[in-house]
Amino acid sequence: MPGITRLIRSLVLKTVRPPNPIRRQRRAHRPGLAEVGGFVLCFSVLGACNNLTGGDATHKINGGVHVIAGTPPATAATVNGGIDVDENAAVTSAATVNGGVHMGANATADSLHVVNGGVVLEKHVRVSGSVKSVNGGITLRDESEVMGPLENVNGDINLQSAHVGGGIRTVNANINVLGSSRVEGGIQVKHNSGDSVAGAMHVPRIVVGPGATVSGEMLFERPVKLFVSERATIGAVTGATVERYAGDEPPVQAN
């Protein structure tokens, strides 16, 4: 059953990985990141499920996984279902295809990988590695920490007085870095290579609020609206115009 974890992790990594720069020279139609990942996901998971039966408390095909405090740290994985990690509980990794991951206050993990679903880290959660979702938002609450990269394709990314050590990368997400949040490794909004009209028309809104810090380059490969508080600290910006604001909230603008 740990093979489910490896499968989901590999699917997420393949889907959120930036395109090979050499292949960008070809102008023929190429499906978008999420589109490719979706097809790979469907066929790979169906094939894997044909070879798996049953399941235990932390490895399932159908159904959610609940990790209680005091359980020895282990992997938690499911194909169809969410993963709920209690306050003060620990997992080595959590991975799901169709469902979200919720980490209770003071919980810990090595990595979190999701295909279709969101990720929520409550207060004082610590993830020593990466947090990645293909289609789903990512929320980090007060004093939560992700030491590796934070990545998704679709879904808003919200930090409230949190810390990301490995940078933020997305394609279509609105990003809010608020409170005393610190992002090391910069922010990258990658080019949308898909054919979705909605995705092409959407202009991601990036906000770095009062007291927040983004160190490293902020690189934008597509149009964005970038609002940075006069009381925020940022590094170099490439591909966007910084709109500074003086109050507690950025200007209200429709995408």
What is the model's pLDDT at position 194?
62
* Angle, helices 33-50/2-16, rounded to nearest 10 degrees: 170
Cβ-contact 94, 77 below 8 angstroms: yes
What is the model's pLDDT at position 14?
54
Kindly state the DSSP code that residue 72 receives in the 8-state scheme.
P
What is the three-class DSSP state of 16? helix
Cβ-contact 202, 255 below 8 angstroms: yes
Residue 241 burial by CB count (10 A; 0-12/13-18/19+): exposed, middle or buried?
Answer: exposed
Structure tokens belonging to residue 168: 């933020």
Enumerate the domain spans of the chain. 2-245
Q: Helix/strand/coil (H, E, C) string of 117-162?
A: CCEEECCCCEECCCEEEEECCEEECCCCEECCCEEEEECCEEEECC
Cβ-contact 177, 158 below 8 angstroms: no
Cβ-contact 184, 165 below 8 angstroms: yes
What is the model's pLDDT at position 242?
98
What is the model's pLDDT at position 134?
97
The pLDDT tens digits along the chain (255 residues) read 555 556 655 655 555 554 443 334 333 333 344 443 443 443 343 333 333 334 456 888 999 999 999 999 999 999 999 999 999 999 999 999 999 999 999 999 999 999 999 999 999 999 999 999 999 999 999 999 999 999 999 999 999 999 999 999 999 999 999 999 999 999 999 998 765 555 568 999 999 999 999 999 999 999 999 999 999 999 999 999 999 999 999 988 644
The Cα-based distances of 134 to 23, 37, 44, 191 in angstroms read 22, 8, 16, 15
